[in-house]
Structure 1
Amino acid sequence: MNQIPPYTPIVVARTKSVALSLVLTFFLGPLGMLYSTIFGAIVMIVLSIPLFILTLGHAGFLIWPVSMIWGAWATHRYNQRLLSRAGF
């Protein structure tokens, strides 16, 4: 009798670029975070609108670096989870 060997499904997914995440958040701020984390982008956009109004735009000195760090961290974490599922 012919038995079919068990198969392992293979999922093909690309990793995200941390460098691209940093470039997007550098030029677009919280909007650039949409590449790396949609939840984080929404949080930062919602927080930044009132902060920009209250500080007359000076909140950008805090919002931009936080967005860049969060975006790079989220991209790195995404890549780590993807590779750990693949067995690397």
Structure 2
Amino acid sequence: MTEAVWLDLAEAEGLFVPGKPGPLVRVALLREGRDALVAANTRLGLALSSDEIDYLFSAYRGLGRDPSDAELMMFAQLNSEHCR
């Protein structure tokens, strides 16, 4: 999970400015293995447990494709402890 602190209310106005979507990024799970998910977990601030990383690794390896950053973010949000 990530957060930001603004000391001035005007700085928060950027939250309401429509932004351009970024490109979809694939995590190289098939080429780099489980370590790619561990790195993405840290880089994206997903807070996935080791069990969740193992589950995702097995699931995407079984599908024969790499997960996208958006898919991993959705999984992390839906499976966060406060959403269970």
Larger helix fraction of residues? 1
Task: Tell whether the structures are fold-level matches, with TM greater than 0.5.
Answer: no
For normalisation by structure 1, the TM-score amounts to: 0.32
